Amino acid sequence: MSNIIQLKDKRFAVSIPEADILRQVDRVAAEINRDLKDKNPLFLSVLNGSFMFTADLMKRISIPCEISFVKLASYQGLASTGKVKEVIGINEDLTGRTIVVVEDIVDTGHTMQRLLESLGTRRPKEIHIATLLLKPDKLQVDLDIEYVAMQIPNDFIVGYGLDYDGLGRNYKDIYTVIDAD
Ligand code: 5GP
Ligand code: MG
């Protein structure tokens, strides 16, 4: 496998190899297994970006739990639009439940904030956040993100579920854009 990939007009280089990702997924899973034992958490995986993280995370969750998938598209190209669509796909009754939102990346945090507002109206007991990636320098809202696999700089990344214009989700490693304009 090449360390450099080309997606449309951009080139990307491996920045976080799969083995490093999985070590951090191991750690986060252990924290959740410890913290949420006996709470029968409902994991809400935010599609599409978190599908690969969700699969690797859930294989390591050993406590009783449920999993469901939601969608909330807000992103086009290289920059966040700020526009966030509705949350779709929640068929479960969240009343009194312990929820764990599973996200690919928290950038400005607006997407997560919108999601938390929406979930909050469904009267869950508690909502926890698990994200594969966090760009701490970009965060604009006050969020309590308990489970963070990795913190990264502000550069645009793809792979391991994350895309550039629909491409790149299939790669097992994380890549960072080279020569972003
Ligand atoms: P936020 O609302 O936190 O600014 O943006 C969150 C969403 O922006 C993520 O769910 C993801 O879809 C997208 N995003 C933010 N940074 C990146 C990045 O570096 N690469 C990719 N592929 N998507 C990103
Ligand atoms: Mg996402």
Sorted by where each begins, the domain ranges of the chain are 19-152
Rg (CA), the chain: 16
CATH for the stretch 19-152: 3.40.50.2020
Q: Which residues are catalytic?
A: 107
Determine the average pLDDT of the residues in 75-80: 54
Q: Categorize the per-residue pLDDT at 46 as very low, low, confident or very high, splitting at 50, 70 and 90.
A: very high
Query: Mean pLDDT of all residues in the chain?
Result: 93
How do residues 53-77 score in pLDDT, each as one tens digit?
A: 999 999 999 999 999 999 985 545 5
**18 Cα to the center of ligand 1, angstroms:** 20
Ligand 2 center to residue 50 CA distance, Å? 6
Nearest CA to ligand 1 atom 2: 111
Q: Report the pLDDT averaged over residues 30-44.
A: 98
Distance of CA 76 to the CA centre of its chain: 16
| pLDDT for position 1 | 66
Residue 82 pLDDT: 54
Does the C-beta of 177 come closer than 6 Å to ligand 1?
A: no
Give the position of tokens 């990307």. 12
Q: Which ligand is nearest to the CA of 116?
A: 1
Average pLDDT over every residue of 3-16: 97
Average pLDDT estimate for 27-41: 98
Q: What is the pLDDT of residue 37?
A: 98
Query: What are the pLDDT digits (tens) for 126-156?
Result: 999 999 999 999 999 999 999 999 999 999 9
> Of all helices (H) and strands (E), which one includes residue 102?
strand 98-106
CB 69 within 8 A of CB 78: no
